[in-house]
Amino acid sequence: MLINKSDIHHRSISSLLLLTLLSPATLAGTADDPETIVVTGTRSPKALYASPVNVEIIEQATIERLSRGTLRQLLEVMPGVVVTRSRKDGYNIQLQGFSADRVLVLMDGQPLISPTGSAVDLDQISVNNIKQIEIVRGAASVLYGSSAMGGVINIITEAPKKGTVRVTLEANSYANNARDDDNWGQLYRLQATETLFDWQTSLNVQYIDDPGFDYDPDTVLQNGASNDKTFLHLDLSRDFSQLRFSSKSRWFSENKYKVLSSVPGQSSVLSYQSEVEQWQQDMRLAATNDWHISARALGHNETSGNSNGLRDTQIAMQELELQKVWMGDLEWIAGMTLHQDQLDQVNLASQIVEVDDASRQSAEGFVQVNASWQSFQMLLGSRVQYDSDFNWHQAWRGSVSYRIESGDHSWQWRAGAGQSYRVPNLKERYYIFDHSNLGYMIIGNNELVPETANNVSGGVKWLYRPNTDWQFSSDLNLHYTDADDFIITTADAVLSQQAGVDVFVYSNVEQAVIQGFDVALSAEHNVTKWQVNYSFLDAKDGNGQRLAERPRHLVKASVTYQHLPWDADIQFYVVASDEESPDSSYAGIYRDHAITANVQFKHQYSDHLSWQVGIENIFDQHQNTAKTQQGLFDARGIVSRQIVLSTQYQF
C-alpha cells in the first residue's frame, strides 16, 4: 500500500502536544466536587466520587462555552470519544473502539433519535437546558440493553428558571471555503419558561441555516452539504403530592442538499438530498428515589438518496419502561422494558417496496444490587432479554471500587467484568443505502446473528490538592473485550460485479478483540486549567486484521483561562489522531493521521447579555479530495475552518 507519511508530521504533533502540556483545561472542573451527582453508572443518584462505575462528565460551564446548537461540538472535546462525519453528512461517534451503533445516547435516561438501534446523528440533537453530560465508557448492556455494548452517553437536563426568556443569535462563515452564493450561516434560538396553573412549562425553538462549504469553486462538486434544521421542544411537569408527572414533546425537521456531479450532455446536476421529519412524545410518572413509569413513541420519516434514486423510509418506535428502587443496607434496582420498532422503505424511482413492514419486539428485565461498606463498593447486575427474532439473551456484570483518603491525596480503584450483547438492528438487516454514482452501495443482511462479548476493565484515579490554589489529578483506565459474531461491513465480490459498483454488506466476523487504555492528566491553578488525554486502541478481527476506521492513537488537550475582572474565559483545544486503518474499498493510504486546533472566547458583558467568538479547525485541515478520488485513504474529515460569532440575551 502507498503510504505518504513523513517524520515532519510526527515532530509537529509531538511539539504541539508538548506546548499544550506546558500551557492550560479541564473539561469538568467540578468533577470531584462532593456535590457533583451522577446517575448513569448505576441508574440512581450517586455522588461522583462514590460511584462504583467510572463516570466522566462535561460540566455546564463547558457546555455553555462550546455549544453550537447541536451535540457534535461538545463531544469532540471529550476524552476517548471519536467524532466522525458519516456518509450522509451527519456526525457519529466511537467509544473505546465501538462504533456508534454500539453506543447508546440518552436524554434523561431514555434513548434518543435511534429508533432502529442504528447510529445516532449528533447533528440532529439539540442542546437546550443541559445541566451536564455523563459518559460511561465500556459495556453497559446489563443496565441499558442491547445498544449499550460500547458505552452510554447521557444528557442530563435541568428545570429552567421560572419566568425567563432567552434569545440566542449566531452568525458563522466557512471563511475561504465559503460558497460564493451563500457566505453566512445563522442560528436562532428562543427559550422561554413559565409556571401556569402549577404546571412548569418550557418552550425551546431553534433554527439552524448551514450553507455548506466548497473546497474548489471551479468544480461542480460541493464538499459540505447545505442544510437547515428546525427544533421544537415543549416540556410540561407538575408535582402531585408525592408524585411528579412530566411530558416532553419533540419535533425536528431537516433539509439537506449537496451537488455531487454534473450529468454528461445535460445542464442538470446529480445531487444528494435528504428531507427528515421526526416527532417524539415522552411521558413519565415518578415517585422520587422510589419508582417510575415512562412511555415513549417516536416517528421518523425520511426521503433521501441521490436525486435519481430517492428512497422513502418510515420508522416508528414505541417503548414502555418501569423501574423500582429499594433503599436500605443494600440498594436494589429492578425494572423492565417493552420495546417495538418498525421499518418500511420504498424506492421512489421504481416504486419497488424494498422493506415491507419489517419489525421487531423485545421484552427485557434487569436487576442490580449495590452494596457499600465505608470506602468499598460493589455492584452486581443481570439483564434478560427476549427478542422476537433472536429469542433469549442474558448478560451479567459486576463492578467494585475502593477509595482511600490520605492527607491531601485521594485514590480510587475501580474494576469490572461481565458480558454484553447486541441484536442486529433493522437497518443492518434490511436498509439499502445507495450511492451508486459515487461507486458504492451498502445493503442490509437478514442472515445476521447477535453479537456477544466478554469484557474486563480496570482503572485508578488520583487527586491531589496541596493547597487552595492548586489541584492535580490523573486517571488511568484499561479495557479488554473479546467479541463473537461482531458485525462489520465487508465488500461482496459477487454483488459488486453484478452491480458494477462496490457493494458492501453487513456481515458477522467470527471474533474481534478490542483492547486499549486511556490516560488523563489535569492541573488547575486559580483561573487556569490544563488537561491532556491519550487513548490507545488495538482492534482486530480473529484473523489479526485491524477493524477499519478506528485510530490507534488519539490525543486531546486543552487549556482554559478565566479573566475574572472581565467575567470572560478563553479555551484552546487540540484533537489529534494517528494510524487510522481504512476499509477494504481503498487502494492505498495517503494520510492516516489528522489534527485540528480550535479556540473559543466568551464574555459575560452583564447579567443579561453575553457574547462569544470562536474558530473551529483554525488551520483548515481537511481531506485531499483529489487523493480520495484516486482511491487513497485520507483520515482527515470532510470539514472546514469556521468562524463563529454569537450573542445571548436573557430577559
pLDDT tens across 71-86, in order? 888 888 888 889 888 7
Cell 428545570 maps to which residue?
159
Residue 58 has a pLDDT of 85
Three-state DSSP at 520 gives strand
Which range scores top for mean pLDDT: 53-57, 383-387, 489-493, 501-505? 383-387
Residue 514 has a pLDDT of 96
Residue 496 has a pLDDT of 84
pLDDT at 21 over 50: no
Residue 365 has a pLDDT of 96
pLDDT at 387 over 80: yes
pLDDT at 473 over 80: yes
pLDDT at 328 over 80: yes
pLDDT tens across 270-293, in order? 888 999 999 999 999 999 879 999
pLDDT band at 107 (very low <50, low <70, confident <90, very high): confident
If you average pLDDT over residues 581-598, what whole number do you get? 91
Higher pLDDT, 473 or 269: 473
Helix (H) or strand (E) holding 354: strand 352-373
Percent of the chain residues past pLDDT 90, beyond the cut: 57
Among 22-36, 159-173, 235-249, 351-365, the minimum mean pLDDT is found in 22-36
pLDDT band at 349 (very low <50, low <70, confident <90, very high): confident
Residue 275 has a pLDDT of 94
pLDDT at 625 over 80: yes
Residue 125 has a pLDDT of 84
pLDDT at 13 over 80: no
Q: Is 447 exposed, middle or buried (0-12, 13-18, 19+ CB in 10 A)?
A: exposed
* Euclidean distance between CA atoms 439 and 434, whole angstroms: 9
Residue 289 has a pLDDT of 77
Residue 491 has a pLDDT of 80
pLDDT at 207 over 90: yes
If you average pLDDT over residues 207-217, what whole number do you get? 93
Residue 266 has a pLDDT of 66
Q: Which residues contact 526 (CB under 8 A, 6 or more apart)?
A: 469
The phi, psi pair for 259, rounded to 5°, reads -75, 130
The answer to whether the Cα torsion of 104, 105, 110, 114 is positive or negative is: negative
* Euclidean distance between CA atoms 253 and 116, whole angstroms: 18
Residue 647 has a pLDDT of 96
Which range scores top for mean pLDDT: 61-65, 128-132, 147-151, 387-391? 387-391
Tell which residue, 150, 154, 140, has the closest CA to residue 101. Answer: 150
> Which residues on neighbouring strands pair with residue 330, listed in sequence order?
371
The answer to whether the Cα torsion of 297, 425, 70, 29 is positive or negative is: positive
If you average pLDDT over residues 482-494, what whole number do you get? 89
* Euclidean distance between CA atoms 320 and 338, whole angstroms: 5
The answer to whether the Cα torsion of 603, 609, 613, 614 is positive or negative is: positive
| Whether the model pTM is above 0.75 | yes
Higher pLDDT, 144 or 10: 144
Task: Tell me how many helices (H) and strands (E) the chain has.
Answer: 7, 35
pLDDT band at 306 (very low <50, low <70, confident <90, very high): confident
pLDDT tens across 529-557, in order? 999 999 999 999 989 999 999 999 999 99
pLDDT at 627 over 60: yes
Residue 475 has a pLDDT of 95
Q: Which residues contact 45 (CB under 8 A, 6 or more apart)?
A: 37, 38, 39, 289
Is the Cβ–Cβ distance between 209 and 174 less than 8 Å? no
If you average pLDDT over residues 594-621, what whole number do you get? 95
Q: How many residues does the chain have?
A: 651
pLDDT at 562 over 60: yes
Q: Which domains does the chain have, with CATH numbers?
A: 28-162+177-204+218-233+247-253+277-547 (2.40.170.20)
pLDDT at 28 over 90: no
Tell which residue, 275, 243, 241, has the closest CA to residue 257. Answer: 275
Q: Which residues contact 540 (CB under 8 A, 6 or more apart)?
A: 512, 513, 546, 547
pLDDT band at 116 (very low <50, low <70, confident <90, very high): low
pLDDT tens across 503-534, in order? 889 999 999 999 999 999 999 999 999 999 99
pLDDT at 25 over 50: no
If you average pLDDT over residues 180-205, what whole number do you get? 91
pLDDT at 619 over 50: yes
pLDDT at 26 over 70: no
For the CA atoms of 502, 508, 509, 512, what is the dihedral angle to 10 degrees? 120
